Structure 1
Amino acid sequence: MFLDSEILLFSILYLLISGCIVYPPVEFISSGLTISSIFSSFLKSENEHFILYHIKRSIITLFIYSLLPLAYIIGLWFFNYSEEIISIWSTDKSLLWQLFTNSCFIFPLLALYQIKTWSDDNWKNHPIAVNLSKFCNNNGTWLSVASDINVEFRRIDKICIQTNAVSKIIATENWILKVTPLTIFVAHQSDATFNACHTDTHSISPDNSRQVQYVTIEVKSARDNVPSFNIRINTSDFKDLQDRLARPISILPNVLVHKSLMDKFVDTFKEVVKENPLYNTQEVS
């Protein structure tokens, strides 16, 4: 019974650590305990080769994710639970546990195979390269599009908005990019539309105790086979993003966006007024 409680405690701690690896909290980010920070010597500079940097970052991220189940088994072995690991493969154990332990070895192999497939023909099959290839003109390749984005990313007039721990929005002179752990969603501003389709307001912000509002913007390209994607930003970043975009952000009629502190004050004041009690008065003659 005591041994089972130890394994349970280890499992809970490992789940917490795995969650921090997949979605690092502020403490991990500030301490440099993220995949990008740990492998910075391999990734080199994002500013120099933006697209190649994120291709390399995505393959490391995929491989690290695939190792998490195997690392759990290795952790049990390291803490002298080898007999329990061996017993997992016994016939009296549940099929679910056997599938889990077998997948611990299968996932890294599948990840390596996927990375090998991506790397063929100079990364032509990588999701980032596939997304960029949709913007090729005439006989150009995805490398020419990547070169164009690299040049614009080096300029100081770009805007970068960190939307959460694992993704960010980048707007350059001609491009808008959504960077995620395994790929980059791309749209060219000249043929894209931007629609603010939803807002959500929270009483407490992750960064402070103030009220915060987020707006979801749909980015839709007019090009064929280019999927639309959503970006979710703090409304305090709305004006900065709008100023960098070549086209205006359309706000749907039913969407209320607090573009400034005054907008927040007016809306809050209206809500307070609505909560005031109503009184009927009669003039006495």
Structure 2
Amino acid sequence: MDTSLLLYTVLFIGMFLAFPKELKRAGFNIDYVFHGWLGDPQLDYLGFHVRRTSLTFLLHCCLPFLYLGIIHTNLVSFTLPEYVEMSITTLGVLTASYGMICFFLHVSLQRHPVYKRLQKYDTPISRVKLEVNSQARSIGAYHTDNGAYRLTVTTEWLLAPSCYNIEVAFLNDTHLELESSRTLELSENAKEGSQHVKVIATSTSGKYRQFIVMLNSLDYRDFTNSLKIPVHNTRSILINQSLSEQFTDTFLTHIRENPKYSVRRFRDVDNEGELENCLGCVVKKAQVKLRKTCASSRQGGRPCTQCRCRPMWCSECMARWFCSKQDQSSPNTWLRGKAPCPMCRQVFCILDVCMIVN
């Protein structure tokens, strides 16, 4: 093979097939370049991804002919019959692809594979679409996108957009199983390597086909916390924890030994006798109250002060907040560190975090 042809082939594969993360971060991707036509996923989540997958399919159909076309004009010479044959094939494939996309987007959107799967649930497709779009833009929805995969979890749905498809699962009809994990030794995010886990989503009623959810172990905890159904780990697969997750577990263990705080006694509930939702995750109820109980107010250089805010945070969100305010280069000092209240900025230590009891 000619050296220039080999070099061109390698560069073409690297630029268009194994798309570098650096180009995506710089905005050279379909979402950014065609954002005017694709729309805003915050306003129309399903419509955005239907248009994105359709456009991706059409553009990828062009790549083989783009490759051959550049070769023809720069590197090798085709005879006239070969050129005519390639042109006819290119025109035929692109016309068929464009016709199929126009049929789905403008003629019969309900026959698109995504909407056909949603129609299996005994609800009008317009209502399901409105429900999914509304939940996807809610403050409690979980979104992750690391370039290799996208994932959205709402109160009722698990949505996994891929290059050409969108996997949609109704959580009440879903069984999640932790299938396997693998560790990549070289990682820009973790010195000790990056662990990726595979979760299998299966319909308990058979209304959708089984699909795979790939996750970084650093995202696994947030993913499971956002679900209202459990992820079964029957194979006892060990999930690596980040340093902040390890601290969160230790933080929760310590605050369980602190004095308890009675919301009934101090009337920190609403008119119906319920605690407010956590301001951090908006999923759990408030679980902790900052109340000065430590003996020494001068330990650590800053005096602990009395916080008079109502209970507004769950224990895990408070642990993450406390961790974020510590010296990240000295994790061995975190437990004896201090942090300001997220609301009133009064200083507290781990001994001042009281679990709530009714």
The alignment's TM-score, normalised by the length of structure 2, stands at: 0.62
SS in 2 for 1:246: coil
**Residue identity in the other structure for 2:217:** T
Cα RMSD of the aligned pairs, angstroms, is 2.9
Gaps of at least 5 residues in structure 1 are: 91-97, 265-285
Instruction: Name the aligned partner's letter for residue 131 of structure 1.
Output: R
**Deviation readout 1:126-160 (Å, 9 max, x if unpaired):** 122122222243xx2x2221110000011111111
Contact 2:202–2:209 (Cα < 8 Å) also in 1:
yes
Instruction: Find the partner of 1:61 among 53, 56, 60.
Output: 56
Instruction: Tell me how far 1:228 sits from its aligned partner.
Output: 1.6
Is 1:33 aligned to residue 16 of structure 2?
no
The answer to whether 1:210 aligns with 2:192 is yes
Cα distance between partner residues in 1 of 2:81 and 2:142: 51
8 Å CA contact retained: 1:161, 1:170: yes
Paired residue total: 247
Determine if the alignment matches structure 1 residue 157 to structure 2 residue 140.
Answer: yes
Matches within 5 A, 1:161-240: 161-162=144-145, 164-165=147-148, 167-240=149-222
Task: Tell which structure's C-alpha radius of gyration is larger.
Answer: 2
* Bigger relative CO (Cα 8 Å, ≥ 6 apart): 1
Query: Which residue is 2:240 aligned to?
Result: 258
More helix by share: 1
Distance 2:3 2:91 in 1: 26
Q: Distance in 2 between matches of 1:214 and 1:9?
A: 32
Tell me how far apart the structure 2 counterparts of residues 257 and 238 of structure 1 sit (CA, whole Å): 8
Among 144, 148, 170, the residue aligned to 2:127: 144
Listed one character per residue, the Cα deviations across residues 143-198 of structure 1 (whole Å, up to 9, x for unaligned) are 22111000001111111122543x31110111111111222111111221111111
* Residues 174, 190 of structure 1: 8 Å contact kept: yes
Displacement of 1:99 in angstroms is 8.2
Provide, for residues 222-254 of structure 1, a one-character-per-residue CA deviation record: whole Å limited to 9, x for no partner.
233311211111111111111110111111234
Any gaps of 5 or more consecutive residues in structure 2?
247-358
Name the CA shift for 1:78/1:31 in 2 (closer, same or farther; >3 Å): farther
Per the alignment, residue 16 of structure 2 pairs with: 18
Q: Is the CA contact 1:66–1:107 (under 8 Å) kept in the aligned structure 2?
A: yes
